[in-house]
Amino acid sequence: MDRTTLLDPPTAYARLREESPVSRIAVWGGNTPWLVTRHEDARAVLADPRFSSENIRENFPGLQPTPPPRTPGQLFAMDPPDHTRLRRMLIPDFTFRRVEELRPVIRTLTDSLIDDLMAKEPSRADLVEHFTLPLPLQVICELLGVPYVDREFIHRQAAAFATVTDGPEAMRAGWAALFGYLSELLAAKTADPGDDLMSRLATDRVATGEATAAEAAGMLVQLLIAGHETTASMLSLGAVTLLTHPGQLTALRADPALVPGAVEELLRYLTVVHIGMRRIALEDVEVGGVTIRAGEGVVVSLQAANRDPRAFPDPDTFDITRDAQHHLSFGHGPHHCLGQSLARAELQIALPALFQRLPELRLAVPAEEFALHGRAIHGVSELLVTW
């Protein structure tokens, strides 16, 4: 479905949500999964163990006609008990307390990037290149123990894996390149560990036999990709949203207490994971009055659910005073985003700092002229601003 504006989901979702909230769609090769568009139904599907995330199952509604090769450690494509076993290994590095310890690092990186922006002459830049991409990429590299000097390679391969336009071979190549790269780093950390997540995986999990090296490398690939692609897009589109809603931006600048709620509203309003959460039924399940049969695929539209008026009154209005904490932008159930506290911290620190230190910040071209990058995470290729 095509968007008509940068910040809003395709208009067809609203019609489906009202007239046919659980409806058949066509994806490829005659595969006709069910599309779920209401908030209540979306939560039910994502929390129900009768729906599998294993993308190698026949008729799974993946992004490409050919299922990707099953790589160890792909948490997004796993079910319990293996999913539970591996996910538990990562939780200590993503607790609220651990993320709070990272806030000074995030602030320092944010201020350094803004310093570089302010030093530019003339006062014009691509915000994606100089702020919204390097910040989350540097943060996740710091957390994982990945050398930031390899950032161009990392982002290029991550973008290839996240493509929805370049075909399955590009996706496979991107994942394989990062898997090989991180496997080598993991081996090096085993011999010379540091104070980072990768070292802890190497010494506490792989060396003890709790996980294989391949499982650890697969988890690291997923963390590296998801840990910067999603937040980078949120920072970019969040900046556009605030700049195109000047009344909301003025209120945010005037009252820092509004920042946490504003971030939740941005997450709901933008819903950058716009391809849906994909599942397949393991048995017959009724959803929204419709029986989904065993072996049938399901696509849960997070962007439709987050604009459901039953859950969010006047949902198409951006309102930073709204209680939006029950949005589904981080998913729901056993696969809810492991790094959501980290993403929130980055957004809560970076966006206010950007607008406080660059009070004259504005778009250099109209928002409708920004080019989308065609990846599984909704976002723009560049964001030209001036100040």
Task: Enter the tokens of residue 379.
Answer: 């976002």
Tell me the pLDDT tens digit for each residue of 334-348: 999 999 999 999 999
pTM of the predicted model, to two decimals?
0.95
The CA distances from residue 36 to 40, 43, 53, 224, 305, in Å, are 10, 10, 16, 29, 8
- pLDDT of res. 170: 79
- pLDDT of res. 259: 98
- pLDDT of res. 214: 97
Contacts of 348 (CB under 8 A, 6+ apart): 259, 260, 263
Reduce the DSSP state of residue 132 to 3 states and report it. Answer: helix
Report the alpha-carbon distance of residue 178 to residue 342 in Å, rounded: 22
Strand pairing category for 290-292 and 297-300: unpaired
Tell me the pLDDT tens digit for each residue of 128-155: 999 999 999 999 999 999 999 999 999 8
Report the alpha-carbon distance of residue 318 to residue 73 in Å, rounded: 37
- CB 262, CB 270: distance < 8 Å: no
366-387 in b/e burial notation, b at 16+ Cβ within 10 A? ebeebeebebbbbbbebbbbeb
Neighbours of 83 (CB within 10 A): 18
Task: Enter the tokens of residue 352.
Answer: 């206010």
The full set of domains in the chain, from first to last, is 12-386 (1.10.630.10)
- pLDDT of res. 166: 67
- pLDDT of res. 2: 79
Task: Point out the residues of the chain with pLDDT beneath 50.
Answer: none
